[in-house]
Amino acid sequence: MRIGLPDVPALERGVSLLGSGGGGDTVTGAALLRNRLAAGHRVALTPVGELGADAQVVPIGVVGATAVFAEKLPSGAEFGAAIAAIERWTGRRADALVSIEVGGLNGVLPLVVGGQLGLPVVDADLSGRGVPRLNQLSVAAAGKGLTPAVLAEPGGQVLVLAEATAAELERTARAFLAGSGGWAVLAIAPISARELPSCAIPGTMSSAVSLGRQALSVGERSGAEELAAATGGRVIGLGRVVEVSRRPGPGEHGRTGFARGSATILDHRSRSLLRLEMENEYLFAMLDGEPVASTPDVLAVLDRRTGVPIPCDVVRQGVEVTVLQLPAAEFWTDPRRLPVLEPRAFGIDCDPILLEVRR
């Protein structure tokens, strides 16, 4: 699938929806992609089946405080440095790239990087949505190791972690980011094209474009139900945000955890209160105290005037919103993998509440 300038708004809207309130701002990544396309460069998504079975696919993305990404812009060398380090350490040349996360910024940046480095970008990712932790990537959920892994930060430091569990990589990455400017490029162990379908989620990048097109086709003046029908989801809330609270998250071993919070919406239709629990993403929804939706389904909060998704870190009291539930990728509904992203993985003692219809 070739990506052209007219496709960028759909891609940006689609990956923003799949971020589930997280994943980072897409504006900078979309601007970089537009510049590349305007300069006449070819940008395309390659189905995994078009790669040779032994092709080495390197997962890549940005990790850390993606809000800082817009203030501390990349030089462009970080991506090449991370991939070069992976190639040196494994002794294998990168034949293609795949995004670690389709939700948010990482749904756009690999397309820019692939063009710069002359590497095809696979139509797949390792999350199917926005996920907060590296040990929640699909590779880890499938029981495959993530190391060797490389972190390359904009100041020029390159860290190689030769051996570690997925949880250890997550802890090490957070410690590195705290002292190196807030964000870094991550590249993890190459995956052969033969193995990729079993530990990644195929088709997600092109699906994000389709999802974005469907959302944009509804238009700003259409109703919430039209939006749900167009995107394959359902509306679980329609009203005004009446309260937003934020608090420190639970930590482990003396380390601070991700911030937690909640947003409460007064539904105009039923006068019920919809409460969304959030961390880096929207995770769980209760209507008048009864659970109605949860991760791994995608919970998206949209500005009712514009249809633009509102991230967790900027949702505020007084805004009029539509709350949409979109179905999770089938990868996460497998009982063997569901525990990785179910509510209890985030300390919420409730069974998953998912849409029955799957894309």
Instruction: Please give the radius of gyration of the chain, using alpha carbons only, rounded to the nearest integer.
Output: 19
Separation CA 37–CA 25 (nearest Å): 20
Q: What pLDDT shows up at residue 155? A: 87
Q: What pLDDT shows up at residue 357? A: 46
Q: How many Cβ atoms sit within 10 Å of the Cβ of residue 198?
A: 13
**Is the CB of residue 197 less than 8 Å from the CB of residue 53?**
no
Instruction: Classify the phi-psi angles of 21: left when phi > 0, otherwise alpha if psi is within -120 to 50, otherwise beta.
Output: left
At residue 221 the predicted structure's pLDDT band, cuts being 50, 70 and 90, is low
- Arithmetic mean of pLDDT, 262-280: 95
Pairing of the two strands 43-46 and 121-125 = parallel
Q: What pLDDT shows up at residue 249? A: 64
Q: Which residues contact 209 (CB under 8 A, 6 or more apart)?
A: 1, 3, 7, 10, 11, 14
Domains of the chain (ranges; CATH) run 2-204 (3.40.1610.10), 223-346 (2.40.390)
Q: Which two tokens stand for residue 102?
A: 């389709």
Judged against a pLDDT cut of 70, whether residue 238 lies above it is answered with yes
Q: What DSSP line would sit under 125-137, residue for residue?
A: ESSSS--S-GGGS
Instruction: For the chain, report the end-to-end CA distance as a whole number of angstroms.
Output: 19
Q: Which two tokens stand for residue 283?
A: 């995770």
Read off the DSSP letter of residue 196: H
To the nearest 10 degrees (0 to 180), the angle between helices 8-18 and 204-218 is: 100
Query: What pLDDT, in 10s, does the model give residues 164-192?
Result: 999 999 999 999 988 877 899 999 999 99
Judged against a pLDDT cut of 50, whether residue 327 lies above it is answered with yes
Q: What pLDDT shows up at residue 215? A: 92
Judged against a pLDDT cut of 90, whether residue 211 lies above it is answered with yes
Separation CA 62–CA 231 (nearest Å): 27
- Arithmetic mean of pLDDT, 292-303: 96
Q: Which residues contact 214 (CB under 8 A, 6 or more apart)?
A: 230, 231, 232
Q: Which two tokens stand for residue 169?
A: 């990589």
> What is the average pLDDT value for the chain, to the nearest integer?
91
Separation CA 46–CA 238 (nearest Å): 38
pTM, two decimal places: 0.93
Query: What pLDDT, in 10s, does the model give residues 31-68?
Result: 999 999 998 888 999 999 999 999 999 999 999 877 77
Beta strands in the chain (DSSP E): 2-3, 43-46, 56-64, 96-99, 121-125, 149-152, 158-161, 183-187, 191-192, 201-202, 234-252, 255-267, 273-278, 282-287, 290-294, 298-303, 320-326
Count of helices and strands (H, E) across the chain: 12, 17
Q: What DSSP line would sit under 280-305, residue for residue?
A: SSEEEEEETTEEEEETTSEEEEEETT
Q: Which residues contact 198 (CB under 8 A, 6 or more apart)?
A: 142
At residue 325 the predicted structure's pLDDT band, cuts being 50, 70 and 90, is very high
Q: Which two tokens stand for residue 192?
A: 């052969």
- Arithmetic mean of pLDDT, 333-347: 95
Q: What pLDDT shows up at residue 253? A: 43
Q: What DSSP line would sit under 219-273, residue for residue?
A: -TTS-HHHHHHHHT-EEEEEEEEEEEEEEEEEEETTEEEEEEEEEEEEETTT--E
Judged against a pLDDT cut of 90, whether residue 136 lies above it is answered with yes
